[in-house]
Amino acid sequence: MDSFDDAWEVICSYCKTKITDVAYNTWISRIKPLKLDFESNTAFLIVPNDFHRQTLTRCYIPLLDEAFEAVFDNKFVISFKIPEEISEQSNAPKIEEKSNDANYEYTFDTFIVGSSNKFAHAACLAVATNPSHAYNPLFLYGNSGLGKTHLLYAIGNEIKKNDPSKVICYIKGDDFTNELIESLRLAKMSEFRHKYRQADILLVDDVQFIGGKESTQEEFFHTFNALKDANKQIVLTSDRPPKEIKTLDDRLRSRFEQDLIADIQPPDIETRIAIVKRKAELLDIDLSNDVCEYIASKIKSNIRQLEGTVKKLKAKSLLSKEKTNISTVQEVIADILNNDTPPEVTVERIIDEVARTFGVSAEEIRSQKNRSANLSKARHIAIYLTRELTTLPMVSIGEEFGDRHYTTIIYTLKKVQQMMDKDRKIKELVDDTIKNIRDR
């Protein structure tokens, strides 16, 4: 694995904690690492086009500077290149096309099995070995960073290895919603349905994000039934079991519970040490037993943090050329834990999540114009959540929602509270939305 690629993953993770999902997905996620030149202290990055380069230069250089310095403890000049410029440079480094399977590490061979996950691992292996005949659907749940996504991809990779003709479709719950909205807007629902219903294997990550979204759940219900009736394999992951996704339709909940539900718990110390050692092997970095045990003793409940620590140690070793010691590890762990702190909840995040839930746009929620019942409910709940999850005063909240007077905000808060007191489903919708906002 190329070392700059490893470092770039850590840089992207850092950036993701500092900006909104929309900003990250639009601008940062589309950057590709090209070359790190230590002689000139320059980081060369590939961007899709000149407009993208101009926007990054104008708005995101300070963030990228901060991220590079956090990873390398050193400042780099950032140079953006577009594909045409690279092809014109005869001495430019060759760019190899990456495999479509960007998740080649996510196999059963690279998954460390311990007492906390052996049941889930066995269930996934059974599905991968005998799809549609072992457990269908298979529902995995557990906290973030414990390996659900790894197992999901491992299933897909194993099936594809055994039978390349299989059509495997992976999607995240909120991306399913976003694709549905876009397909409705462009009148392309037939293409949308064909994409998912022709799959042999449907892998859905973070399915909890479809909860509360009526149109999404309706479409997913029919997709689920079509695949199940055709004896196609379905695997779902969530941060909680179906019964605890309060805003999930009863008919979907019953289908998710039809076959096997398997949980993943935080790994024990032995498993954590094994994970650190395995990641070090994959990244070709030499870590002593003492260092591996130290990392495992400090990071106890999140595999992603364990692997992130090893990745950052690899990045630091590019510069220092020295053997990693406990002192270096202490610095890296402090950075990892600080960066993993959930970013402050913003009004933008709240409105985006409420908009997805109600199938409206963020602009409509902020606007004074449209007063349909569905949009009014979405706007009222967004205002309520803004008051609950941020420290903004009433006047500022009013300004965020179309310059409404603070007395209107007070009235709205009382109205939502009354709705929650009278209607259990509204209360569950608000609670689930809060959880989704905090989990992003």
Domains in the chain: ranges and CATH: 1-90 (3.30.300.180), 118-263 (3.40.50.300), 347-439 (1.10.1750.10)
Write the single-letter amino acid at 397: I
Q: Which of 389, 235, 318 is nearest to 33 (CA)?
A: 318
* Calpha distance 356→38 (Å, rounded): 44
Q: What is the pLDDT of residue 87?
A: 53
* Calpha distance 319→157 (Å, rounded): 34
Please report which helix (H) or strand (E) contains residue 366, including its range.
helix 362-366
The answer for residues whose C-beta is within 8 angstroms of residue 133's C-beta and 6 or more apart is: none
In whole angstroms, what separates CA 419 from the centre of its chain?
32
Whole-angstrom CA distances from 77 to 9, 16, 104, 288 are 18, 21, 31, 34
Q: What angle do CA 414, 367, 29 make, to 5 degrees?
A: 105
CB-CB contact of 56 with 31 (8 Å): yes
Helix (H, G, I), strand (E, B) or coil at 62: helix
Buried b (16+ CB within 10 A) or exposed e, 31-45: bebbbbeeeeeebbb
CB-CB contact of 307 with 279 (8 Å): yes
* Calpha distance 136→228 (Å, rounded): 8
CB-CB contact of 311 with 287 (8 Å): no
Helix (H, G, I), strand (E, B) or coil at 168: strand
The predicted model scores a pTM of 0.64
DSSP state for residue 93 in the 8-state scheme: P
CB-CB contact of 262 with 139 (8 Å): yes
Helix (H, G, I), strand (E, B) or coil at 10: helix
- pLDDT per residue of the chain (440 residues) written in tens, 0 to 9: 346 777 888 888 888 888 877 788 888 988 999 888 777 778 899 998 887 888 898 889 999 998 888 887 778 899 999 887 765 443 433 333 333 344 447 889 888 898 889 999 999 999 999 999 889 999 999 988 888 999 999 999 999 989 999 999 998 888 888 888 888 888 889 888 988 988 999 999 999 988 888 888 999 999 999 999 999 999 999 989 998 888 888 999 999 998 999 999 988 899 899 888 888 888 888 888 888 988 888 888 788 888 888 888 887 776 666 677 787 788 778 776 665 555 667 888 899 888 888 878 888 888 877 678 888 898 999 999 999 888 888 888 988 898 888 888 888 999 999 999 888 888 888 888 888 887 66
Q: How many C-beta atoms lie closer than 10 Å to residue 233's C-beta?
A: 27
Whether cis (ω within 30° of 0) applies to the bond prior to 48 is: no
* Calpha distance 412→3 (Å, rounded): 53
Cβ neighbourhood burial of 185 (10 Å; 0-12, 13-18, 19+): exposed
Q: What is the pLDDT of residue 225?
A: 93
Task: Quickly list H helices, 172-213.
Answer: 173-185, 189-197
DSSP string, 298-361: H--S-HHHHHHHHHHHHHHHHHH-S---HHHHHHHHHHHHHHTSPPPP-HHHHHHHHHHHHT--
Q: What is the pLDDT of residue 234?
A: 96
